[in-house]
Structure 1
């Protein structure tokens, strides 16, 4: 068995899921690969570690033709870069950034339209617990902690109410190629679902290329098939009460997994994080984390956020709407469900 690594620079910005899953993602590969050496001469693993939407990304491909696997990785990297120009909030020239700046896009890509429509569907199913229009809250909190770092309780109730008045997924008007906000000042973040979309896009392309046993982690995790030697891929999850400890595993095969938890990124000096409850305008604190397994990463991505915000009581009804989904959540006292 051989393994070839193609590396990019380490990411400078980490999203909540990527911070949560960085340990899980790196553990997934050794646990999944374990035992292959017993089989004798095998095709090689080709791996890439890079960045997507400001956080760590990786591909692990299993193919007897190492050169073909490497060229495939290069094509996948190009596709990730293309989708960065659609969804990134870190790039001023992305479609999403231009939509937030202008309040409309006269010509939106099919990728952006598809993700906005999926986000709207999950928002409706969760009664607004998942809402892509929470970006004004993020801007408010970010500005508050930048200008008043010692005011660790967060923005005033009046300021929060002002930002909340701009949060309503129903006020996004989505056409076949056009997108606009019904209210001035609205803005969207798709970090709770676009990473899943990119993961699915890469996984679908790899399957078309003939890769039957591979692991994709482009913000979220999706397994193509199972492990080459048989069985499911095993993903390690870190303990939300101890960031240095992996205390749970989830097995996936031809499935995707996403994790939401508020401990991944806190505002400096406070216990506030950036997974907001649209109903209150404050950080969601009903749970410590939620892991969702679903047939596709975009669905797992949106559902994990929706359940994290809405709480344990909403889990069963939400999952019942989507076949072949399951979830593991950690309560505030550290127990799991």
Structure 2
């Protein structure tokens, strides 16, 4: 790929590598798309639709892509017994990962509200019977990568790598070899995988960590940060699924996910062990 387009969106760094340089209209379209998504889902923006639900509850009409996001969260909420939930926003805020980035816990860990007690997500209509703080970051960034990839394809760009700080979507003729960053040493890798017209997403507890054992991967059912798993990688057909499963693998066993999803994975545990899918196209060092 000969051209790169870098920008900031949804609070993170993005890079689009392409075989042909993106024209100005396409670049502008990508920026508009990411801004529109952020304006709906960001819990860090006072003017977002999600923040309005946190203040007063009520109903929200999401973009058409919201139906797929809700269906994925519903499935993973069921499989994990409530440990993975879009209502985890209240837990993260309570721990100090709030809009002001105070990084100061407000008290002992407490579970997120149960989905079935106050939230309905039917198609692209989201209804909260009382104020709730949503956080769809476990799948939303991946979905936005997919939306950017689809937009680029519609504009005629079919040789691209969309990379949102490690959430990657590849479309093209030449496979890429991607290193898997060591969870305790960002200057080294624990292995590599081949990315060939698929998505690759990673999640690690060291990426956003603060305080005494606090980090952004939390169990919504208990309100506590996960300790057993420290890093995951998932390869799947689309980035939304890969992103969501990278978080789900902190909360449940791969065997619980395999009946409903097609994916490859790597897990690293806090005791130094690693586990990976037999079909993984790659190698661990």
TM-score computed with the length of structure 1 as normaliser: 0.73
Please give the alpha-carbon distance, in whole angstroms, between the structure 1 residues aligned to 2:94 and 2:220: 13
Partner of 1:97: 51
Partner of 1:315: 254
Pick from 76, 91, 98 the counterpart of residue 137 of structure 1: 91
Distance 1:148 1:206, change over 3 A: closer
Partner of 2:247: 305
| CA-CA distance at 1:138 after TM superposition | 1.1
Structure 2 counterpart SS, 1:167: coil
Distance 1:246 1:176, change over 3 A: closer
Pick from 79, 86, 89 the counterpart of residue 40 of structure 2: 86
Partner of 2:137: 191
| CA-CA distance at 1:75 after TM superposition | 1.8
Distance 1:69 1:319, change over 3 A: farther
Pick from 146, 165, 171 the counterpart of residue 200 of structure 1: 146
Partner of 2:170: 223
Pick from 5, 8, 12 the counterpart of residue 55 of structure 1: 12
Please give the alpha-carbon distance, in whole angstroms, between the structure 1 residues aligned to 2:82 and 2:115: 8
| CA-CA distance at 1:100 after TM superposition | 2.1
Q: How many pairs are equivalent?
A: 272
Partner of 2:192: 249
Partner of 2:107: 155
Partner of 2:271: 333
Pick from 175, 189, 213 the counterpart of residue 122 of structure 2: 175
Q: Assess if the C-alpha contact under 8 Å between 1:200 and 1:297 holds in 2.
A: yes
Residues 1:72 and 2:14 aligned together = no
Please give the alpha-carbon distance, in whole angstroms, between the structure 1 residues aligned to 2:4 and 2:134: 33
Please give the alpha-carbon distance, in whole angstroms, between the structure 2 residues aligned to 1:188 and 1:198: 17
Partner of 1:40: none
Distance 1:101 1:113, change over 3 A: farther
| CA-CA distance at 1:185 after TM superposition | 4.4
Distance 1:317 1:178, change over 3 A: closer
Partner of 1:39: none
Please give the alpha-carbon distance, in whole angstroms, between the structure 1 residues aligned to 2:54 and 2:131: 8
Residues 1:110 and 2:68 aligned together = no
Structure 1: runs of 5+ lacking an equivalent = 1-32, 34-44
Please give the alpha-carbon distance, in whole angstroms, between the structure 2 residues aligned to 1:148 and 1:106: 29
Q: Assess if the C-alpha contact under 8 Å between 1:226 and 1:233 holds in 2.
A: no
| CA-CA distance at 1:128 after TM superposition | 2.3
Higher relative helix content = 1
Distance 1:148 1:300, change over 3 A: closer
Deviates more, 1:200-209 or 1:68-77: 68-77
Higher relative strand content = 2
| CA-CA distance at 1:127 after TM superposition | 2.5
| CA-CA distance at 1:116 after TM superposition | 2.5
Rg (Cα) greater in structure: 1
Distance 1:147 1:188, change over 3 A: closer
Structural RMSD (CA): 2.5
CA deviation string 1:228-265 (max 9, x = no partner)? xxxx1122221012122233222111100111111111
| CA-CA distance at 1:266 after TM superposition | 1.2
Q: Assess if the C-alpha contact under 8 Å between 1:135 and 1:189 holds in 2.
A: yes
Please give the alpha-carbon distance, in whole angstroms, between the structure 2 residues aligned to 1:282 and 1:271: 9
